[in-house]
Amino acid sequence: MQEHNIQPHVVIIGGGPGGLMAAEIIAGKGLPVTVYERKPSLGRKFLLAGRGGLNLTHSEDIERFMTRYGAAAEHLLPAIKNFPPSALRAWCEALGQPTFVGSSGRVFPQSFKASPLLRAWRTRLDSLGVKFSFQKQWMGWNDNGHLVFAGPDGKAEMVQAAATVLALGGASWPRLGADGNWVDILKRQHIPVTPLRPANCGFAVTWSDIFRNRFAGQPLKPAALSFGAETVQGEMMITEKGIEGGAVYALAAPIRDAIAAHGAATLTIDLRPGMLLAELVRTLGAPRGTLSFSNFLRKAVGLPPVAIALIRECGGENVRLMPAPALAFLIKTLPLKLEAPFSIDRAISTAGGISFEALNAHFMLKDKPGVFAVGEMLDWEAPTGGYLLQAAFSTAVYAAEGVLAFLSTKS
């Protein structure tokens, strides 16, 4: 029988930002917390995200901010209002890592890196008494309701927890820790999970050998990409197997869903977003003189070689014979057939996860009292731009507060 003066033990499964934030909130109230992580160290995907500049959140107003979460916005709104972007910035500042707002409205630490923030965070967690158990793979629950972990030697460890926070991430970049194995565990418990799919991903295109060999690895910019009613201006990267890049990721969700429904999707590319169609028609109607088709497009229209080659790739070799109006229209509305999203292990994030219908207001599993889930394990997705990390932090804070409320009713 547990003595009344012994605080209940809380287990966090997953050592990414969601799990660490939940651990901080709960340990900050004096409860013993152990974080179980399947890798030998913490925050591996968090550190990878910081290599290009750690985009923590976004500075736009909350109404605009919430539209980034689509149909899941209503479920995430209480958590994000409870721990909004301003609170995340204040938390970062308190760890000695002040933030700044970039020209795009995105928020970054001044160091522009994740490693100093993670080091300071680990120091704080240590001071709060948080314990860590590494190289432990969560296997589910045994018949007694105890958590089961497998160590590197394959031996099973049974852990009794007064409350559990699942923070195992999605299934992108599995070598960094989040491999989606939890999906089968929860399904065996009859917990509804929407299938995981790639989000913020690239797409496959069948290039000609000539185009692929010459332009793979080159960016196409500036360009405006359109799909459906959405248009995004930014960079598109040509790869050996298709396209990637920030502008592509911003349109990834509707493109992915269209491919699932119809087998393929057509992306529309404006290769000269700063030039009106009428102006382009006039420019293309001027005499070419001795200039070749490629040199004329390069000098008169300002198109780089990759854009000119893409026109040939999508429009055919006879594109050089097009009259000015037709060629101008093609440059402004170049169609590119996308055949499939890149695999989930190459995606920046994942869509799908535990259905919100299976959760209470603080993300506790209705059929598993005392078990909470946070971050990418929940059924939502968002574009890059700070929205992914913000939701991971906010849902973790909200779930941690749910843990504290749940345990208070048990005391």
Nearest to 384 by CA among 20, 18, 56: 56
Q: Supply the pLDDT for residue 120.
A: 97
Q: Supply the pLDDT for residue 207.
A: 98
Helix (H/G/I), strand (E/B), else coil: 370: coil
Q: Does the N-terminal peptide bond of residue 84 adopt cis geometry, omega within 30 degrees of 0?
A: no
- Res. 1: pLDDT tops 50: no
Pairing of strands 10-13, 99-101: unpaired
232-264 burial: b if 16+ Cβ within 10 Å, else e: bebebbbbebbbbbbbbbbbbbebbebbeeeee
Return the bridge partners of 8, or none: none
Question: Which strand (E) or helix (H) includes residue 213?
Answer: helix 209-215
Q: Supply the pLDDT for residue 410.
A: 80
Give the tokens for residue 128: 């709060």
**How far is C-alpha 32 from the geometric centre of its chain's CA atoms?**
31
pTM comes to 0.93
**How far is C-alpha 78 from the geometric centre of its chain's CA atoms?**
20
Pairing of strands 106-109, 99-101: antiparallel
- Res. 3: pLDDT tops 60: no
* Residue 154 pLDDT grade (very low, low, confident, very high; cuts 50, 70, 90): confident
**What's the rounded mean pLDDT across residues 210-220?**
97
Burial-class residue 268 by CB neighbours within 10 Å (0-12, 13-18, 19+).
middle
Give the tokens for residue 181: 């194995």
- Res. 354: pLDDT tops 70: yes
**What's the rounded mean pLDDT across residues 126-136?**
98
- Res. 290: pLDDT tops 80: yes
Please provide the average confidence, as pLDDT, over all residues in the chain: 95
Q: Supply the pLDDT for residue 393.
A: 98
* Residue 5 pLDDT grade (very low, low, confident, very high; cuts 50, 70, 90): low
Burial-class residue 357 by CB neighbours within 10 Å (0-12, 13-18, 19+).
exposed
Look up residue 176 and give its amino acid: L
Contact residues for 210 (Cβ-Cβ < 8 A; gap 6+) = none
* Residue 2 pLDDT grade (very low, low, confident, very high; cuts 50, 70, 90): very low
What are the distances in angstroms from CA 353 to CA 67, 186, 362, 380?
Answer: 19, 10, 16, 7
- What residue spans define the domains of the chain? 10-199+349-410, 203-341
**What's the rounded mean pLDDT across residues 105-130?**
96
- Do 167 and 377 contact (CB within 8 A), yes or no? yes
Q: Supply the pLDDT for residue 139.
A: 97
| Whole-angstrom distance, CA of residue 231 vs CA of residue 333 | 12
**What's the rounded mean pLDDT across residues 87-99?**
98
pLDDT in tens, 14-24: 999 999 999 99
**What's the rounded mean pLDDT across residues 174-201?**
95
- Res. 273: pLDDT tops 90: yes
Q: Report the sign of the C-alpha dihedral through residues 80, 178, 404, 189, in that order.
A: positive
Return the bridge partners of 232, or none: 225
Backbone angles phi, psi at 172, to 5 degrees: -85, 150
What is the CATH T-level fold of the domain 10-199+349-410, as seen in this structure?
A: FAD/NAD(P)-binding domain (3.50.50)
pLDDT in tens, 42-84: 999 999 988 878 999 999 999 999 999 999 999 999 999 999 9
pLDDT in tens, 299-349: 999 999 999 999 999 998 899 999 999 999 999 999 999 999 999 999 999
Q: Supply the pLDDT for residue 83.
A: 98
